[in-house]
């Protein structure tokens, strides 16, 4: 018994010695780690008329994104991103209380990004490893939505006012994370997740420039045996003392490859064009955006929230063939921490027999949003309104839509 006690005491002293010996190196390592992230809670509620009661929603959603950047040496940084949410596509973890009997659930923890960033060449950054797909067609990091990731290399270099970018990925999560459904055309109702394959190579090149107050960008991207696409964008901001004006425009074209002929996509040329105008005068602001799509198809983004798409609340343009989309909003900064906005969105889908659309149809939504910023790192918004989807051979779908969201950033 005495021997056991003596051995336990020796072990305790040894552990204490090791802890003391390694305390300083661990402390130094932590000093070189930059920690950031977001914690988001969202509650969605939608209530439709009797014919569409199966589309009612009452969801609690949660997502935590944790970013760690560790300095390896003067030229290399190791970057990781962890998601507490959906392991499939880095989205919210959701509990639909309308259909799941109100039960509570748990979230998955997953490693979303792990790559090395090299900055040893002046004005140049090279990222190698598993990372977000940083393109206008995808969403690399989203505090409150799904994310597109892939394994590969991304390089950016700046020469004067021009930044050149190039990337290659041999694996992506697009088969799970692509967020859009085609409306109209021969592939009506098809989800991109049904046709995109994660082992297809992707490469992209870009040029980004600033000329005076104008920012310009041109991108080209190709996905092996799937599609090729390009986008051109321009934006500018003007400050006229009492009035601030912002203008922007973007045109995107996408062509599906012949290899997708069996999925009824290869003969469709897709395009989406949009114009954005913004005005700020004192505490008041206004925005008007207008977009339209090609009569063959309107697929321009792999995620509806991407730069090449045009997203509203429950109404969006990406993937809708032969359509025009109007977004109008006015807002007032009534307090330093409180903004009130009224938003109206209308999507007009033209009659087109080739798309199975025998008459003109209109989808619209109107909602009020109050955004309260309690502190620089904590914000909340509340939305409430109504939407209506016109149906050709059925009663129109009408309902109320609401949301509460709280986001903490660190």
How many structural domains does the chain have?
A: 1
Per DSSP, the three-state class of 23 is: helix
Is residue 32 included in any domain, yes or no? no
Is residue 20 included in any domain, yes or no? no
Give me the phi and psi of 57, to 5 degrees please: -135, 145
Per DSSP, the three-state class of 273 is: strand
pLDDT for 297:
85
Residue 4 has pLDDT above 70, yes or no: no
Dump pLDDT digits (tens) for 183-198: 776 677 788 888 899 9
Residue with tokens 């190709």, as numbered in its chain: 222
Cβ neighbours, 10 Å, residue 156: 17
- Mean predicted confidence (pLDDT) in 77-92: 95
Q: Say what the pTM is.
A: 0.89
Domain CATH number, residue 398: 2.40.160.10
pLDDT for 19:
44
- Mean predicted confidence (pLDDT) in 394-409: 94
pLDDT for 8:
39
Looking at the DSSP bridge assignments, the partners of residue 274 are 250, 291
pLDDT for 359:
85
Residue 139 has pLDDT above 50, yes or no: yes
Lowest mean pLDDT among 15-29, 140-154, 387-401: 15-29
- Mean predicted confidence (pLDDT) in 160-164: 97
pLDDT for 18:
39
Residue 116 has pLDDT above 60, yes or no: yes
Structural domain for 374, as ranges = 39-409
Is residue 248 included in any domain, yes or no? yes
Percentage above 70 pLDDT, the chain: 87
Lowest mean pLDDT among 43-57, 156-170, 283-297: 43-57
Dump pLDDT digits (tens) for 211-256: 999 999 999 999 999 999 999 999 999 999 899 999 999 999 999 8
Cβ distance 68 to 33 under 8 Å?
yes
**What would the two tokens of residue 401 be?**
């839509």
Cβ distance 287 to 272 under 8 Å?
no
In terms of phi and psi (left: phi > 0; alpha: psi -120 to 50; beta: otherwise), the region of 282 is left
Cβ distance 91 to 145 under 8 Å?
yes
Looking at the DSSP bridge assignments, the partners of residue 42 are 61, 405
Cβ distance 226 to 203 under 8 Å?
no
Residue 198, CA distances (Å) to 8, 69, 76, 254 in order: 53, 27, 28, 19
Cα distance between residue 176 and residue 193, in whole Å: 6
Residue 95 has pLDDT above 80, yes or no: no
- Mean predicted confidence (pLDDT) in 10-23: 41
Cβ distance 303 to 146 under 8 Å?
yes
Percentage above 90 pLDDT, the chain: 71
Residue 136 has pLDDT above 80, yes or no: yes
Of residues 232 and 54, the one with the higher pLDDT is 232
Is residue 80 included in any domain, yes or no? yes
- Mean predicted confidence (pLDDT) in 365-372: 99
What is the Cα 180 distance to its own chain's centre? 12
- Mean predicted confidence (pLDDT) in 104-124: 93
Of residues 28 and 78, the one with the higher pLDDT is 78
Residue 20 has pLDDT above 60, yes or no: no
Of residues 171 and 351, the one with the higher pLDDT is 171
- Pick the most confident of 84-88, 239-243, 280-284: 280-284
Cα distance between residue 384 and residue 403, in whole Å: 7
Residue 7 has pLDDT above 70, yes or no: no
**What would the two tokens of residue 80 be?**
């990781």
Is residue 15 included in any domain, yes or no? no
Residue with tokens 């109008």, as numbered in its chain: 328
Cα distance between residue 174 and residue 192, in whole Å: 8
pLDDT for 102:
61
Is residue 13 included in any domain, yes or no? no
**What would the two tokens of residue 325 be?**
């989309």
Average pLDDT along the chain: 89
- Mean predicted confidence (pLDDT) in 277-299: 96
Cα distance between residue 342 and residue 137, in whole Å: 28
Is residue 3 included in any domain, yes or no? no
Lowest mean pLDDT among 67-71, 259-263, 271-275, 398-402: 259-263
Is residue 309 included in any domain, yes or no? yes
């Amino acid at each position: 018994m005495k021997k056991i006690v003596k051995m336990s005491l020796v072990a305790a002293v040894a552990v204490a010695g090791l802890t003391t010996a390694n305390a300083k190196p661990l402390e130094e390592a932590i000093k070189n780690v930059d920690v950031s992230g977001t914690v988001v809670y969202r509650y969605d509620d939608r209530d439709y008329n009797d014919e569409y009661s199966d589309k009612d929603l009452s969801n609690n959603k949660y997502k935590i994104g944790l970013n760690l950047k560790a300095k390896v040496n003067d030229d290399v940084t190791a970057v990781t991103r962890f998601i507490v949410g959906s392991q499939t596509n880095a989205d919210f973890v959701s509990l639909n209380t309308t259909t799941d009997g109100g039960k509570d659930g748990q979230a998955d923890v997953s490693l979303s990004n792990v790559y090395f960033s090299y900055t040893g060449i002046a004005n140049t950054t090279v990222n190698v490893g598993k990372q977000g797909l940083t393109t206008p067609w995808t969403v690399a990091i989203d505090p409150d939505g799904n994310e597109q990731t892939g394994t590969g290399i991304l390089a950016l270099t700046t020469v004067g006012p021009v930044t050149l970018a190039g990337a290659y990925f041999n694996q992506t999560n697009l088969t799970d994370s692509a967020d859009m459904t085609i409306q109209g055309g021969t592939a009506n109702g098809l989800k991109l997740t049904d046709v995109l394959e994660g082992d297809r190579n992707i490469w992209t090149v870009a040029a980004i420039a600033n000329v005076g107050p104008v920012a310009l960008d041109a991108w080209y991207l190709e996905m092996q045996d799937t599609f090729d696409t390009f986008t051109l964008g321009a934006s500018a901001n003007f400050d006229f003392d009492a009035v601030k004006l912002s203008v922007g425009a973007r045109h995107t074209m996408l062509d599906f490859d012949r290899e997708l002929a069996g999925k009824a996509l290869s003969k469709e040329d897709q395009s989406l064009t949009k114009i954005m105008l913004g005005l700020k005068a004192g505490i008041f602001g206004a925005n008007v955006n207008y977009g339209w799509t090609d009569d063959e198809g309107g697929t321009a983004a792999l995620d509806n929230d991407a730069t090449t798409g045009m997203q509203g609340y429950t109404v969006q343009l990406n993937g809708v063939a032969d359509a025009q989309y109007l977004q109008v909003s006015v807002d007032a900064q009534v307090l330093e921490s409180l903004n009130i906005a009224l938003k109206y969105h209308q999507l007009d889908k033209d009659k087109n027999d080739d798309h199975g659309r025998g008459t003109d149809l209109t989808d619209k939504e109107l909602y009020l949003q109050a955004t309260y910023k309690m502190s620089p790192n904590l914000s909340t918004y509340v939305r409430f309104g109504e939407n209506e989807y016109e149906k050709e051979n059925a009663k129109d779908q009408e309902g109320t839509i609401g949301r509460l969201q709280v986001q903490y950033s660190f």
